Amino acid sequence: MVLVWRGSGIQAVRHQSKQKMKTMKFTQVAFVAAALAFALPARADTMSVPTKEAPAYTFDVPSDWKPKGDAADEYVEATAPGDHAYLSAWIRKGSDQKAIIADMETTLKDALKSIDKDSSEQTIEVNGVHIVVVKGSGVDKRAGNKVQFRVAIFPVGGGNVGIVYADYDNDAPDDTMKALQGIIGSIKVAAKK
Same domain, yes or no, for 84 and 148? yes
SS3 49: strand
Same domain, yes or no, for 126 and 104? yes
Same domain, yes or no, for 110 and 34? no
pLDDT tens string 167-179: 999 999 999 989 9
pLDDT tens string 66-101: 999 888 888 899 999 999 999 999 999 887 788 888
Cα–Cα distance measured from residue 106 to residue 126, given in angstroms and rounded to the nearest whole number: 26
How many structural domains does the chain have?
2
Q: What is the pLDDT of residue 17?
A: 55
Tell me the CATH number at 178.
Answer: 3.40.1000.10
Closest CA to 111 of 74, 150, 75, 63: 150
Same domain, yes or no, for 95 and 179? yes
SS3 145: coil
Same domain, yes or no, for 102 and 159? yes
Cα–Cα distance measured from residue 161 to residue 57, given in angstroms and rounded to the nearest whole number: 10
pLDDT range class, residue 147, cuts 50, 70, 90: very high
Q: Which domain holds residue 32?
A: 2-39
Would the pLDDT of 135 be above 60?
yes
Same domain, yes or no, for 56 and 35? no
pLDDT tens string 6-44: 555 444 445 555 555 555 555 554 444 444 444 444 578
Same domain, yes or no, for 83 and 177? yes
- The percent of residues in the chain predicted with pLDDT above 70, rounded, is 77
What's the start-to-end Cα distance of the chain, in Å? 71
Cβ partners under 8 Å of residue 138, min gap 6? 108, 112, 113, 114, 115, 116, 146, 147, 149
Same domain, yes or no, for 82 and 10? no
pTM of the predicted model as reported, rounded to 2 decimal places: 0.74
